[in-house]
Structure 1
Amino acid sequence: MRMVMVTGVDQVSFVEEAEPVCGPRDILVKVKACGICGSDSFYAHVGGIPPRQGHTPLGHEAAGIVTEVGADVAGLRVGDHVVVNPLGDPQGRIGNGGPTGALTDLLRISDAKLGVSVAVIPADLPFEVAALNEPMAVAYHGVNRTEPKPGDKVVVFGAGPIGLGAVIGYKSKGVGHVVVVDIIASRLDKALLVGADAVIDSSKEDVAARLLELHGPGADAVGKPRVGTDVYFDAAGVPAVLETALACAKHLATIGVVAVHKKPVPVDFGAVLAAEVTIVTAMGYPDEIFQVTESIIADRDEYAHIISHRFPFDDALEALETAATPGAADKVVVTFD
């Protein structure tokens, strides 16, 4: 079978591998769709992850069909449609430095457990939508970390896949109003499609002024005028986001950071103190990997809008190149026959 693997610095190739053998505690999954993550581009750029430097299998956002079930595995059957938890294989993180990756025809999941390794999904859920499960769990964890309350007014900075997933997550939790901020018109259009109540193009509009119009006035702890937004969600990772959030934040507002900031960001702790702002960060999905699955099943049409490009497995190397090109794509998914 073929596997997509980092074979050197800035080098990714198809590699022929023997088909995996299913042990008594394992399952085999025929991969039907696998999303491309920004980390895949990073792994390729640095030449892989030790101890598999130079031969790191890629792909961790997978959905597929169970083709073989070990004799000791409970709750799973051949033919089940599943989404995969890439952190649930004790042999190592799937597509993140472990011995297996999901950009392949057939994936073995060792010591497979229903609800830990995989979750079963309805047969009518499109595989490319199901393959969003892993990145949407990241978004869902970020939403959970900000502890939104029904009726809250929320602003999401960044309308990439995580930001769009956060919009759906916030709306599912009953917040009152969600605004999305970005500089790319097509992304803002998608934000409206997935349920945002309003959008702001920060390249053309004053974000603070527009938030004041949309969310009304607020104040810090000593009565200084601020904006009425309750939750600020950073899925953009640029310093201006935190600067804007801290300048606008009212008393007891929450700022959630899920984006990766590549450089240190100065923080005005005087402003933080005056507003008693809560700042939380979120990484990964300690509990959300299959919590979000029910949301994807229920809101599949909204989640489908997040996908910008679909490539067949034969063109997986092109898919990786497209995903790594700034501005070329939002969410790329590789599909399999």
Structure 2
Amino acid sequence: MRAVVVHGPGDYRLEERPVPVPGPGELLLRTDAVGICASDLKCYHGAAKFWGDEHRPAWAEADRVPGHEFVGTVVAGDDEALGKRAVSLGDRIACEQIVPCRECRYCLEGAYWMCAVHDMFGFKGFDGAMAEYVLVPSRALTHPVDRTLPGQVAAFAEPLSCAFHAVERGDVGFGDTVVIAGAGPIGLSAIAGARQKNPLRVVALDVVDEKLALARKVGADVTINIAREDAVARVRELTDGYGADVYIEATGHPSAVPQGLALLRKLGTFVEYSVFKDDVSVDWSIISDDKELDVRGAHLGPHTWPAAIKLLESGTLPMDEICTHQFPLEDFQQALDLVGDSAGASVKVSIVPSLSAPTTSGSTTSAARA
């Protein structure tokens, strides 16, 4: 099979590899689609969080196939694996990113998404899905997905479930003003998730008008282009001078953190979801003495996958406008570069192995939309 393989920062290669053979309790999937995440891009560029230093784990292993946002069709597996997951050959499933050990303190307490071992598809322990086939280990967590959804839409269940978890961490109430920084894949997903909670208003922040227009389509009541407007002043106008109740940071840009602290009212809630490339510094006295804020992290998408998949299957989100670009495996480098182009027109970029690579010399977009 064709597979993208990690050799080091900035060095990913398309190679031929044997198709995995499932063992007892394992499944083999034909990859329908795999989304490219901001964390994939940061890992590609050698961000310390993924390549390791004395303080942080080296999650991105050499000789690993990347890709953790994926869905696939079941093509092989023994009766134990099929029965355990209540699937048949030909069914489609999505896999959660983390493959919990089920033995550490966190797993035994039920917090599997914080597993101490922290094996994850495409980063550590198990190959991901930037390949024609992907192996599903026996302890992986899987969810059925409608086979009629386009692959890139079905694969969006991963970022959507992550954002739903961020919304859950915000404890959004009916009377709340919820501000979401960023209208990329996670931000748009958080807007859609917050809308499901039916707060008083959902406010979206970004610097790209086209993404703000899309934010309205997924549920934002108010959009603010922070390149032209003072977001803090505008939010205070909307809230009788108090500020937002909940702020969800989904940009990964250091400036969005102090922005959120300024936007929130006293006793507000700050939810951080992004993966940062650079360190962030803030005035911690705002969190403590000034406002007594509740600051919460959010990691992965525990217990939110069924709701995310249900929303995708409902057809109510404008997924044709969210899943903007699809590439064949041969063009994985172009796909990674497009994700890194913050000024580009892409929202969600995916790899669909069944696509054929462009045959015209120099072509960059003819096969990029499906």
TM-score computed with the length of structure 2 as normaliser: 0.80
Provide the residue aligned with 1:127 in structure 2: 151
Report the number of matched residues: 325
- Residue 196 of structure 2, aligned match among 172, 181, 187: 172
Following superposition, the deviation at residue 270 of structure 1 comes to 4.9
The structure-2 alpha-carbon separation of the partners of 1:64 and 1:239, relative to structure 1 and needing over 3 Å to count, comes to closer
The answer to whether structure 1 residue 296 and structure 2 residue 319 are counterparts is no
How many angstroms apart in 1 are the aligned matches of 2:66 and 2:21? Answer: 20
How many angstroms apart in 2 are the aligned matches of 1:254 and 1:242? Answer: 13
After alignment, is 278-287 or 14-23 more displaced? 278-287
The answer to whether structure 1 residue 249 and structure 2 residue 273 are counterparts is no
Following superposition, the deviation at residue 300 of structure 1 comes to 5.2
List structure 1 segments (4+ residues) > 6 angstroms apart after TM superposition.
none
How many angstroms apart in 2 are the aligned matches of 1:327 and 1:267? Answer: 30
After alignment, is 51-60 or 177-186 more displaced? 51-60
How many angstroms apart in 2 are the aligned matches of 1:317 and 1:164? Answer: 25
Provide the residue aligned with 2:28 in structure 1: 28
Matched to 1:292, the amino acid is A
How many angstroms apart in 2 are the aligned matches of 1:251 and 1:7? Answer: 48
The structure-2 alpha-carbon separation of the partners of 1:237 and 1:2, relative to structure 1 and needing over 3 Å to count, comes to closer
Deviations 1:229-268 (A, max 9, x none): 2111111233443333333432322121112342232225
How many angstroms apart in 2 are the aligned matches of 1:270 and 1:211? Answer: 18
The answer to whether structure 1 residue 64 and structure 2 residue 79 are counterparts is no
How many angstroms apart in 2 are the aligned matches of 1:86 and 1:108? Answer: 13
How many angstroms apart in 1 are the aligned matches of 2:305 and 2:342? Answer: 27
Following superposition, the deviation at residue 304 of structure 1 comes to 4.3
Partner SS, residue 253 of structure 1: strand
**Within 5 A, what are the aligned runs for 1:1-337?**
1-46=1-46, 53-73=61-81, 74=83, 75-88=86-99, 92-111=119-138, 117-213=141-237, 215-218=238-241, 226-227=242-243, 229-261=244-276, 262-270=278-286, 272-299=288-315, 301-328=317-344, 329-337=346-354
After alignment, is 198-207 or 272-281 more displaced? 272-281
- Taking only the aligned residue pairs, the percentage that are identical comes to 29
Following superposition, the deviation at residue 306 of structure 1 comes to 2.3
Contact 2:2-2:17 at 8 Å conserved across structures: yes
Unmatched tracts of structure 2, length 5 or more? 52-57, 102-117, 355-370
The structure-2 alpha-carbon separation of the partners of 1:72 and 1:183, relative to structure 1 and needing over 3 Å to count, comes to same
Contact 1:33-1:336 at 8 Å conserved across structures: yes
After superposition, the CA RMSD in angstroms is 2.5
The structure-2 alpha-carbon separation of the partners of 1:270 and 1:311, relative to structure 1 and needing over 3 Å to count, comes to closer
Following superposition, the deviation at residue 3 of structure 1 comes to 0.8
Partner SS, residue 260 of structure 2: helix
Deviations 1:73-122 (A, max 9, x none): 2111001111122323769421112341201111111216xxx5221112
How many angstroms apart in 2 are the aligned matches of 1:88 and 1:242? Answer: 30
Matched to 1:335, the amino acid is V
Contact 1:246-1:272 at 8 Å conserved across structures: no
Contact 2:131-2:353 at 8 Å conserved across structures: no
The structure-2 alpha-carbon separation of the partners of 1:153 and 1:21, relative to structure 1 and needing over 3 Å to count, comes to same
How many angstroms apart in 2 are the aligned matches of 1:260 and 1:58? Answer: 17
The structure-2 alpha-carbon separation of the partners of 1:268 and 1:20, relative to structure 1 and needing over 3 Å to count, comes to closer
How many angstroms apart in 2 are the aligned matches of 1:86 and 1:268? Answer: 32
TM-score computed with the length of structure 1 as normaliser: 0.87
Matched to 2:37, the amino acid is C
